[in-house]
Amino acid sequence: MLLTTDTPIAHTRPRFDDIFMELAVNLAKRSHCIKAQVGAVLTRDTRIISIGYNGPPAGTHNCDEEYPGVGCPRDSKGSCSLALHAEENAILYAAKNGSEVEGATIYVTLSPCIACARIIYSMKIARVIYLHSYAEYKGIASDEGVDFLRRFGVTVERYHPGKGVTLVAEPPLATKRL
């Protein structure tokens, strides 16, 4: 939820960055992943093109139901071997429905991993706004996805609430790895 600190008389309208990040945070809560919940909103100008959150492909299973308490099997890097990332889900849904994503902005609650960064770049998404650092979450030296995107000209920014706005609901990120 976004809270404004201004009085009703001096009402401050939230920026679209604030609105779209709040939506990404709320979408993250839809995830069935027990390790981390990530949400994404794909936009063009001030319009939403697509949304997504992390989880297995539709129609397969729900991690928290099929693997309660432990989560999905992990790949060699410790990541879920069955799930799509929030960015992938948002981009795939847009593509499936014929939406033009070139030049779009994606808001995501966790900065893109290197695999998602390659997809973002390949789809010609122009701007990435993220809330939390993937490197900090994974305990690695750098945000490889962010570095990759910046190297090839994609604008990447860490989200900071606008003046008079506080993002008070954030998605849970597990502190211990499964």
Q: Catalytic residue numbers? A: 87
Q: Which residues pair with 155 in a beta bridge?
A: 127
Q: Which long-range contacts (CB under 8 A, 24 or more apart) does 93-98 make?
A: 93/50, 93/51, 93/52, 94/42, 94/49, 94/50, 95/123, 97/50
The amino acid at residue 168 is V
Ramachandran quadrant class, 19 (left: phi over 0; alpha: psi -120 to 50; beta: rest): alpha
What gap in Å lies between CA 8 and CA 138, rounded to an integer? 41
Rg (CA), the chain: 16
Both tokens of 65, joined, read: 């139901």
DSSP string computed for 3-14: EE-S-STT--PP
